[in-house]
Amino acid sequence: EAPPAKLANIVILATGGTIAGSGASSTTTVGYTSATVGVDNLINAVPELKKVANVRGEQVFQIASESLTNEHWLKLAKRVNVLLAQPDVDGIVITHGTDTIEETAYFLDLTVKSRKPVVVVGAMRPSTAISADGPINLYNAVLLAASKDAIGKGVLVSLNDQINAAREVTKTNTSTLDTFKTPELGMLGYIQDNRAHFYRQSTRKNTLDTEFDIGNLDVLPQVDIVYGYANVNRIALDAFVTAGAKGIIYAGVGDGSLAAQIKGPLAEARKKGVIIVRSSRVGQGIVARNGEANDDDLDFVTSDTLNPQKARILLMLGLTKTHDTKALQTMFSIY
Ligand SMILES: NC(=O)C[C@H](N)C(=O)O
């Protein structure tokens, strides 16, 4: 295959995670330490990158992704926006822990103001492991970010030779390499034979087409998640409301169903001004408005197909714009 006439300029923003992790031995695949290897070493481990793009690295932070905060997201999104506004940057790759990669990717999907490719990548095995997946995943991510076909597709998550959309992808297995999937709607494509192969794209608005602007934000509204289960009680909900939550995602059972003993407390919280979003712990399917609860009467919002952790992100950003439940519900149907 003929090399491209001019290589794309790709910036690799490193944030930590297992892709930058190291273990005691080559057979250590759990019990390793995340976020120990710096961005230059990640890049130097894959000399093949030079063939597909001009790459340079920046260490934005160095943490395991389970410790990520809203402030990390704001810092990262601002940096991505600054870089993508530069004519000499064609795309961004973000190396990231896999535990919250889907949340970061969706946050960026809603807040990056560019159609240039942004690819978030991680690894399931630390860099020191036999058959570590980090190097091939990084190679594929850079290839994808340099690909014209990735322009305008929203933020992408790429591991295990597959391309998934930020809004839809989720971690489905605690530890296997094929953990990232879009179970209900399907992945977007593959990376194979030094090429990105796209077959579909998300119909939901992203990047330049969203109303969200984090340029002047230093904090995000407090939104917490209350988990549903048989014998659920109101203790966690009340604690979050007392602690100042502006929004609650209720990860209900089934179709976002509400136990009798949680419905009243959620309605009370709504009357105090807290926005309630009914989501589901199931992980697939639409939470039907006015289905398992009368959302019109309760003045609740439903999460469409967003899982609770992604519904939290959309609600935080939504609350920077409005507290009107109709307007918020519209956001859940377009993003
Ligand atoms: N595979 C990983 O990256 C897991 C790690 N705990 C992280 O998210 O940072």
pLDDT in tens, 123-168: 999 999 999 999 999 999 999 999 999 999 999 999 999 999 999 9
**Residue 278 C-alpha from the chain's centroid:** 20
Q: How many C-beta neighbours within 10 Å does residue 22 have?
A: 16
Report the atom number in ligand 1 closest to the C-alpha of 17.
9
Residues 273, 247: Cα–Cα separation, whole Å: 9
Shortest-distance atom of ligand 1 to CA 63? 9
257 Cβ partners below 8 Å, 6+ apart? Answer: 228, 292, 293
Quick: pLDDT tens for 84-133: 999 999 999 999 999 999 999 999 999 999 999 999 999 999 999 999 99
Q: Whose CA is nearest to atom 8 of ligand 1?
A: 97
What per-residue confidence (pLDDT) applies to 1? Answer: 55
99 is in an annotated binding site: yes
Give the active site residue among 98, 170, 207, 305.
98
Ligand 1 and 68: CB distance under 6 A: no
* pLDDT reading at 2 higher than 90: no
DSSP symbols for 84-101: HTSTT--EEEEE--STTH
Q: What is the pLDDT of residue 184?
A: 85
Q: What's the CA-to-centroid distance between 17 and ligand 1, angstroms?
A: 5
What is the torsional sign of CA 123, 125, 126, 132? negative
What structural domains and CATH numbers belong to the chain? 8-209 (3.40.50.1170), 223-334 (3.40.50.40)
Query: What are the tens digits of pLDDT across the range 218-272?
Result: 999 999 999 999 999 999 999 999 999 999 999 999 999 999 999 999 999 999 9
- What distance in angstroms lies between residue 124's CA and the mean position of ligand 1's atoms? 7
Nearest to 294 by CA among 333, 267, 319, 268: 267
- The 10s digit of each residue's pLDDT in 176-228 is 999 999 998 999 999 999 999 999 999 999 999 999 999 999 999 999 999 99
Q: For tokens 């179970």, name the residue.
A: 183
CA of 160 to the centre of ligand 1 (A): 15
Query: Active site residue: 15, 18, 104, 325, which one?
Result: 18
Compute the mean pLDDT over every residue in the chain, rounded to the nearest whole number.
97
Distance from residue 324's CA to the centre of ligand 1 (Å): 36
Is 69 known to be catalytic? no
65 is in an annotated binding site: yes
Q: Report yes or no for ipTM above 0.85.
A: yes
Any alpha helices (H) in the chain, and if so which ranges? 39-44, 49-52, 70-84, 101-111, 134-145, 235-242, 260-271, 295-298, 308-319, 325-334
- Count helices and strands in the chain by DSSP H and E runs: 10, 14
How many other CB atoms sit within 10 Å of the CB of residue 108?
25
Q: Whose CA is nearest to atom 1 of ligand 1?
A: 124
> Rounded CA gap, 72 and 203, in Å?
28
Q: Is the CB of 126 under 6 A from ligand 1?
A: no
Q: Tens digits of per-residue pLDDT, 49-74?
A: 999 999 999 999 999 999 999 999 99
pTM (predicted TM-score): 0.97
Gap between the Cα atoms of 244 and 308, Å rounded: 19
Determine whether 98 is an active site residue. yes
Closest alpha carbon to 118 in 160, 77, 86: 77
